[in-house]
Amino acid sequence: MATHQPLPDQPPPISQRGWLRWLREHLFSTWYNSVLTVVIGYWLISTFVPLINWAFIQAVFTGDGADACNPDGACWVFVEQRLGFFIYGFYPAEFRWRPNLVFALFALSVVPQFLPLPTTIRKWLAIFGITGLPLAAYFLIAGGHFGLESVPTSRWGGLMLTLILAYVGILAALPIGILLALGRRSEMPVIRGICVVFIEFWRAVPLITILFMASVMLPLFLPDGVTFDKLLRALVGITLFQSAYMAEVVRGGLQAIPRGQYEAAEALGLGYWRRMQLIILPQALKIVIPGIANTVISLFKDTTLVLIIGLFDLLGAVKSTLSDPAWSNVMAEGYLFVAFCFWVFCFGMSRYSHRLEKQLETGHRN
Amino acid sequence: MKKTMIMFGLAATGLLALGAQAQASTLEDVRDAGQLRCGVSNGLPGFSQPDSDGNWTGLDVDTCRAVAAAVLGDANAVEFIPLTAAERFTALQSGEIDVLSRNTTWTTTRDASLGLNFTGTNYYDGQGFLVKEALGVDSAYDLDGAAVCTQAGTTTELNLADFFRANDMEYEAVVFDTSEASAQGFDNNRCDILTSDTSQLAALRTQLSDPDSAVILPEVISKEPLGPVVRQGDDEWFNVVKWVLFGQINAEEYGVDSTNVDEMVDSNNPNVERILGADGNMGEILGLNDDFMVEVISEIGNYGEMFDRNVGPDTPIGLSRGVNALWTDGGILYAPPFR
Amino acid sequence: MTTDPRPLRPGRPKPWNDPRVRSVVFQILAIAGVAWVGYTLFHNTVSNMESRGISTGFGFLNETAGFGIIMSLIPYNETMSYGQTFLVGLMNTLLVSGLGILLATIVGFVVGIARLSSNWLVAKVALAYIEVFRNIPLLLQIFFWYFAVLGALPGPRQAVNVGDIAFMSNRGIVLPKPVFEPGAWVMGTGLVIALATIVVLAIWARRRQAATGRIFPVLPIAVVLIPGLPLLGYLLTGGPVSWDVPSLGGFNFRGGITAIPELGALLLALTLYTASFIAEIVRSGIVSVDKGQTEAALALGLPARRVLRLVVIPQALRVIIPPLTSQYLNLTKNSSLAVAIGYPDLVNVFMGTTLNQTGQAVEIVAMTMAVYLTISLAISVLMNLYNRAVALKER
């Protein structure tokens, strides 16, 4: 007697499996979703196909001058030919190994943070990044010591200047911001008042007015005959501005720490600074990593404003070469190049902050 | 919180310490530093323009180089500090620069109320108009209703308003923060006319995508004597900067140029002998070496050479000498004598 | 019984160890420090200004400005005073900030909701938009729109012509301007009556809904009434409005209202940049609403779109409002980048041209900063009031 043999399962209908099902669920689930998909799809194709054609397929990437370019495609030759200027500004060509060395050191302290290396190595490289690197960068790029010829800041420019402004700004703004945040939560009314006024003032005014003050009015505030470098003045302005934002971010973290942590730390008999340093700040800073990352990213983007006070950062350097009569019309290429550079840095930083946030997640949050 | 205060204090002191304390004598300062700090425009072809290696060229740049050659014996011992129009005077007042050579118009207010001294005129200029040839305009009096691109923070904006009001015409001012941006706006057809000093117009015209499509109208609506500026209250330095330029103009007048300066030192012309320091102590009384003009002429040249090299008819700027010719050639360049 | 000679309570600590004494000392030091810094700055400034012969005081505000401004919401010409230039700049700043906030909010909400769309393509396009626009400096975006996009528009003689009444060129968009003739007040009154009716109706409808649960359709009535009543007035009085239609004359268009391209570029850049941040805020606000809320609302039989409007969004707003406030503040401050492309905002006109003509940096910068401080405080106060209104009410 033959046993009952169930037939093998039928495959689901074609519309319920594979990519067809995916399409149905994700693109054509209802009639208005279908309309949306078609409209947006049409828009994407009609915009991006010509754009890709212009930017890559018809584009010319290398050459000797404007003549090499194709009128229907992007002229990346312009970027290729001026890359040195975009990266270093007016920095003398024979000394460019110095910023290059700094870039290498920078990469050395940053790139391993993304690699699966032992924590101690990463930690020491990070510590080098915030202590040794700025010093080394100063001595190498500015020169004037150890037999290196001095290069005045008026010759610094391009991406190098952007990175210097951003890096120094961040390194200086974070500690000042933490102190301001602690001050704002202090029990001493005078200190609290001073910090509140300071933070609210810098947060209320546009960065451009601050840079303007730094470049034009600061000499008025200093004793007669005392001057300091324009780049340094811009840095002071940027740092004070960003430290106020940093302070608000850190304050958010301080407020999120339960009272019990403060009380427990006090009960242990720790003094104020040790309480903050050992108990409160490590927890608070961890909570606000996304906020700090956002502030860092916005600082990085804000460095472009220095072009308004006449410093040649990356955007300034590119913009100043756009009017070169030797190149007919490379405006779109120039701006796209700058946009791409900033985008890579900013996007990279936001990804890194996500990663760091996950890494430091110890599961105590509820 | 004490630590906070201490840190702020330290930071502030540190910032102050980084600042250099300027001495009373600019000449001494420049000699001690071994280089001249010169404020220039952040990019104007023919006057001060950096190439991509940061080498500056132009008439204003050469004016500074000449001073460096006279004081330090090296025309390359100059640090050029690009300044925006808004920053230029504070930068000089605060001692950030030693000389301002940034096509700056000599006016009463600037001379009298800003604590500055204009040392002379290295280019006699006047405000003019650049228009697209296609518009078919050939006089500034036909510009009623036009949109005008101009640069903020200059005397140009006021002259423009005065001119249009005096002639009962209307206009629309499109104001940009740099001369470069205003030229870009003009090139993009944002406005019908670009107004600025005529020398600048000639320079900006070279930056247009099609320089031949634009013409400079014949009318000049203002006087704009441009020249180097120093701080008030340091007469020694004022004299040095003043007489280097006078020396270059005199040299042209007496036919001394960079090609013949070595022979001219032995010239029998007493004027030439005094300029080049072969006779008298003109350099010494200015606080310089007696042969300072030899250095200037051999490195930079006389005024005419400087003009021709940077903005003359054979350059892309293509300016003719016009009123900037010597008084002996029908111009108004007339330098006091070396005596 | 012997008594313990030691006191029961510890004595007062030495003054330098007493927290209260310390705190007082620190605060006095802080006050002294701030006062010293303030005094030094003040003293330096005054002595520098004196030695450089820079004039002081606010008398310059009454002097004749002598320069033209391309766009003004209030009457202005070059014979007016520097004080008037301040007002012109201020109005232009408020205009671009106000429009920017409105547009960025709309775009931001649309993109934020699109980000959560069930349509894969819509969600990904929204994501790409957010990641691209918020990671590129605003200044660069302004340059891009101004020079590369709007600069590529045709000149006035080749302007894009919309039915001979509106024109678009690289000089901006020119629209016909309404000229009100006597009798136009009837239309104005109609508008006022319509608005007042709608407000009263809305209040009544809300009360009724609270009391009875029945919903009264205010929105369709508003859509009909607000344009309807003025139109009725227009027809009754026989059309007291004529149109000043722009026409090409000489170099440019004459007549009509012009929206200058600087305004367009600045607005476009500010809107798209800020909207990318607002979209993320909106998205996280909506995500933060517990799924149970939606399910409970659906279980009550509410239709899906009412669930979003009546249950999800009101709760999401509590999370959205605080960061939204700082985006509004950022947009207002960022509008000062106008200076880079020549839109005549406060920083460009007053802190730029006026400052250069008068040289009175301290007064002018102080006035400019005071304006931004005031705007900041005003927006914060308004937003705090609103925040309080939507905050969780514990019953």
> For C210-222, how does the pLDDT look when each residue is reduced to its tens digit (9 = 90+)?
888 777 777 888 8
CB contact under 8 A, B147 and C69: no
Residue C357: list chain B partners with CB under 8 A.
157-158
User: Do residue B118 and residue B231 come from a single domain?
Assistant: yes
- Encode A278-317: b = buried (16+ Cβ within 10 Å), e = exposed: ebbbebbbbbbbebbbbbbbbbbbbbbbbbbbbbbbbbbb
CA distances (Å), A30 to each of A21, C117, C294, C307, in order? 14, 12, 20, 19
Q: C250 falls in which pLDDT band (50, 70, 90)? A: low
At B154, which amino acid appears?
Answer: T
Q: Which two tokens stand for residue A50?
A: 């010509």
> Given this model, what pLDDT does residue C371 score?
92
Q: ∠B216-B126-B61 over CA atoms, to 5°? A: 95
Please identify which residue in the block is written with the tokens 């409808």.
C205
Facing C139 at nearest CB: one of A201, A217, A305: A305
> Given this model, what pLDDT does residue A363 score?
57
| Partners of chain B (3+ Cβ pairs below 8 A) | A, C
User: Do residue B211 and residue B255 come from a single domain?
Assistant: no
A5-9, A18-22, C309-313: least confident range: A18-22
Question: Is B324 domain-assigned?
Answer: yes
> Given this model, what pLDDT does residue B174 score?
86
- Alpha-carbon distance of A319 to A331, in angstroms, equals 8
User: Do residue B135 and residue B88 come from a single domain?
Assistant: no
CA distances (Å), A354 to each of A290, A334, A351, B309, C126, in order? 7, 31, 5, 58, 20
User: Do residue B215 and residue B233 come from a single domain?
Assistant: no
Three-class SS state of C134:
coil
Is a pLDDT exceeding 90 seen at residue B338?
no
- Alpha-carbon distance of C332 to A206, in angstroms, equals 8
Facing A212 at nearest CB: one of C48, C49, C351: C351
Beta pairing partners, B196: B128
Chain A: residue nearest B15 by CA?
A228
Chain C: residue nearest A216 by CA?
C361
Question: C154 exposed, middle or buried (CB, 10 Å; 0-12, 13-18, 19+)?
Answer: middle
Chain C: residue nearest B173 by CA?
C70
Q: Please write the tens of the pLDDT for every residue from B320-336.
A: 888 899 999 988 999 99
Return the residue in B35, B55, B92, B94 with the most chain A beta carbons within 10 A, the one to mutate for interface testing. B94
Facing A26 at nearest CB: one of C119, C139, C143: C119
Final residue of a domain: which of B162, B187, B222? Answer: B222
CB contact under 8 A, B113 and C53: yes
User: Do residue B112 and residue B137 come from a single domain?
Assistant: no
Q: Supply the Cα-derived Rg of chain C in whole angstroms.
A: 29
User: Do residue B111 and residue B235 come from a single domain?
Assistant: yes
Q: B16 falls in which pLDDT band (50, 70, 90)? A: very low
> Given this model, what pLDDT does residue B68 score?
94
- Considering only residues B292 and A229, tell me which one the structure prediction assigns the higher pLDDT: B292
- Encode C332-364: b = buried (16+ Cβ within 10 Å), e = exposed: bbbbbbbbbbbbbbbbbbbbbbbbbbbbbbbbb
Is a pLDDT exceeding 50 seen at residue B23?
no
Question: C8 exposed, middle or buried (CB, 10 Å; 0-12, 13-18, 19+)?
Answer: exposed
User: Do residue B209 and residue B138 come from a single domain?
Assistant: yes
* CB < 8 Å from B in window 166-195 of A: 179, 182-183, 186, 188, 191
On whether the CB atoms of residues A342 and C140 are closer than 8 A, the answer is yes
On whether the CB atoms of residues B80 and B189 are closer than 8 A, the answer is no
The HSE-up count of residue C131 (CA atoms within 13 Å, CB side) is 15
Q: Which two tokens stand for residue B280?
A: 């008298």
Is a pLDDT exceeding 50 seen at residue B20?
no
High-pLDDT (> 70) share of chain B, %:
92
Q: Where in the sequence is the domain holding B208, given as residue range(s)?
A: 127-222
- Phi/psi region, residue A345 (left: phi>0; alpha: psi -120 to 50; beta: rest), is alpha
A252-261, B256-265, C1-10, C136-145: least confident range: C1-10
CB contact under 8 A, B52 and A310: no
On whether the CB atoms of residues B243 and B290 are closer than 8 A, the answer is no
Return the residue in A304, A313, A333 with the most chain C beta carbons within 10 A, the one to mutate for interface testing. A304
User: Do residue B113 and residue B177 come from a single domain?
Assistant: no
- Alpha-carbon distance of C211 to A56, in angstroms, equals 65
Written as one string, the DSSP assignment of C56-108 is -SSGGGGSB-----S--SS---TTSBHHHHHHHHHHHHHHHHHHHHHHHHHHH
Residues 6+ apart with CB under 8 A from A260: none
- Encode B273-282: b = buried (16+ Cβ within 10 Å), e = exposed: bbbbbbeeeb
Q: A233 falls in which pLDDT band (50, 70, 90)? A: confident
Q: Is A206 on the interface with C (CB under 8 A)?
A: yes
Is a pLDDT exceeding 70 seen at residue A364?
no
* Structural domain count of chain B: 2
Chain Cα centroid distance, residue B260: 27
| pLDDT, average across residues A159-188 | 90
Q: Which two tokens stand for residue B254?
A: 């007496």
On whether the CB atoms of residues A246 and A297 are closer than 8 A, the answer is no
Is a pLDDT exceeding 90 seen at residue C96?
yes
Please identify which residue in the block is written with the tokens 């330090």.
B72
> Given this model, what pLDDT does residue C219 score?
80
Q: B7 falls in which pLDDT band (50, 70, 90)? A: very low
On whether the CB atoms of residues B246 and B333 are closer than 8 A, the answer is no
Q: ∠A29-A35-A41 over CA atoms, to 5°? A: 100
Chain B: residue nearest A227 by CA?
B19
> Given this model, what pLDDT does residue C6 score?
61
- Considering only residues C142 and C253, tell me which one the structure prediction assigns the higher pLDDT: C142
CB contact under 8 A, B144 and C250: yes
> Beta-strand (E) ranges in chain B?
20-21, 36-41, 49-50, 56-57, 78-83, 99-100, 116-118, 123-125, 127-132, 146-151, 171-176, 193-197, 214-216, 224-226, 229-231
> Given this model, what pLDDT does residue B10 score?
45
Please name which of C254, C285, C260, C230 lies closest in space to residue C116, comparing C-alpha atoms: C285
Q: A221 falls in which pLDDT band (50, 70, 90)? A: confident
Residue C170: list chain B partners with CB under 8 A.
188-190
Q: Where are the domains of chain A?
A: 84-156, 163-310+331-360
Q: What is the DSSP secondary structure assignment for residue A321, as one 8-state letter?
A: H
At A91, which amino acid appears?
Answer: Y
CB atoms within 10 A of CB A323: 20
At B144, which amino acid appears?
Answer: D
Chain Cα centroid distance, residue C53: 39
Q: Which two tokens stand for residue B296?
A: 């200037």
| pLDDT, average across residues B117-135 | 90
- Alpha-carbon distance of C113 to C133, in angstroms, equals 17
Please name which of A266, B1, A262, A176 lies closest in space to residue C23, comparing C-alpha atoms: B1
| pLDDT, average across residues B176-193 | 83
- Alpha-carbon distance of C101 to C96, in angstroms, equals 8
- Altogether, the residues listed in chain B come to a count of 339
The CA distance from C245 to the nearest CA of chain A, in Å, is: 34
A124-133, A175-184, C26-35, C276-285: least confident range: A124-133
> Given this model, what pLDDT does residue B5 score?
44
Chain C: residue nearest B155 by CA?
C357
- Alpha-carbon distance of A9 to A18, in angstroms, equals 17
Q: Is A217 on the interface with B (CB under 8 A)?
A: yes
Q: Is A150 on the interface with B (CB under 8 A)?
A: no
Q: Which fold has domain C82-151+259-390?
A: MetI-like fold (1.10.3720)
Question: C119 exposed, middle or buried (CB, 10 Å; 0-12, 13-18, 19+)?
Answer: buried
Question: B40 exposed, middle or buried (CB, 10 Å; 0-12, 13-18, 19+)?
Answer: buried
Q: What is the mean pLDDT of chain A?
A: 83
Size of interface A-B (CB pairs under 8 A): 100
- Chain B residues bordering chain C (beta-carbon distance below 8 Å): 1-2, 5, 8-9, 12, 85-86, 89-90, 93, 112-115, 135, 143-147, 152-154, 157-158, 160-162, 164-165, 171-177, 181, 184-185, 188-190, 192
On whether the CB atoms of residues C124 and A26 are closer than 8 A, the answer is no
Is a pLDDT exceeding 90 seen at residue B153?
no
On whether the CB atoms of residues A246 and A177 are closer than 8 A, the answer is yes
> Given this model, what pLDDT does residue A285 score?
85
Is a pLDDT exceeding 50 seen at residue A218?
yes
User: Do residue B110 and residue B189 come from a single domain?
Assistant: no
Tell me the CATH number at B145. 3.40.190.10
Q: Please write the tens of the pLDDT for every residue from A314-362.
A: 888 888 787 666 776 778 888 889 999 999 999 988 888 888 777 776 6
Q: Dihedral sign, CA of C266, C269, C272, C273?
A: negative
Is a pLDDT exceeding 80 seen at residue C39?
yes
Is a pLDDT exceeding 60 seen at residue B18?
no
Is a pLDDT exceeding 50 seen at residue B12?
no
Question: Is B198 domain-assigned?
Answer: yes
Is a pLDDT exceeding 60 seen at residue A54?
yes
- Considering only residues C313 and C53, tell me which one the structure prediction assigns the higher pLDDT: C313
Q: Is A297 on the interface with C (CB under 8 A)?
A: yes
CB contact under 8 A, A320 and B180: yes
On whether the CB atoms of residues C330 and C320 are closer than 8 A, the answer is no
Q: B17 falls in which pLDDT band (50, 70, 90)? A: very low
| pLDDT, average across residues B209-222 | 86
On whether the CB atoms of residues C46 and C57 are closer than 8 A, the answer is no
| pLDDT, average across residues B306-331 | 89
Facing C122 at nearest CB: one of A36, A194, A221: A36
> Given this model, what pLDDT does residue C236 score?
78
- Alpha-carbon distance of C206 to C85, in angstroms, equals 45
On whether the CB atoms of residues A273 and A292 are closer than 8 A, the answer is no
Residue A235: list chain B partners with CB under 8 A.
none
Q: How far apart are the first and last CA of chain C?
A: 61
* CB < 8 Å from A in window 1-40 of C: 23, 26-27, 30-31, 34
| pLDDT, average across residues C323-350 | 88
3-state DSSP: chain B helix, strand, coil percent, rounded to 5? 45, 20, 40
- Alpha-carbon distance of A103 to A88, in angstroms, equals 11
The CA distance from A131 to the nearest CA of chain B, in Å, is: 17
Residue A82: list chain B partners with CB under 8 A.
52
Architecture of domain A163-310+331-360: Orthogonal Bundle (1.10)
Q: What is the DSSP secondary structure assignment for residue C53, as one 8-state letter?
A: T
Q: Which two tokens stand for residue C107?
A: 């775009």
Question: Is B54 domain-assigned?
Answer: yes
- Alpha-carbon distance of B76 to A122, in angstroms, equals 46
Is a pLDDT exceeding 80 seen at residue C374?
yes
User: Do residue B186 and residue B262 come from a single domain?
Assistant: no
Chain Cα centroid distance, residue A86: 18
CB contact under 8 A, A343 and C132: yes
Facing C151 at nearest CB: one of B145, B158, B188: B188
What interhelical angle do C82-114 and C120-133 show, nearest 10? Answer: 150
Final residue of a domain: which of B173, B206, B222? Answer: B222
Q: Which two tokens stand for residue C323?
A: 């960061």
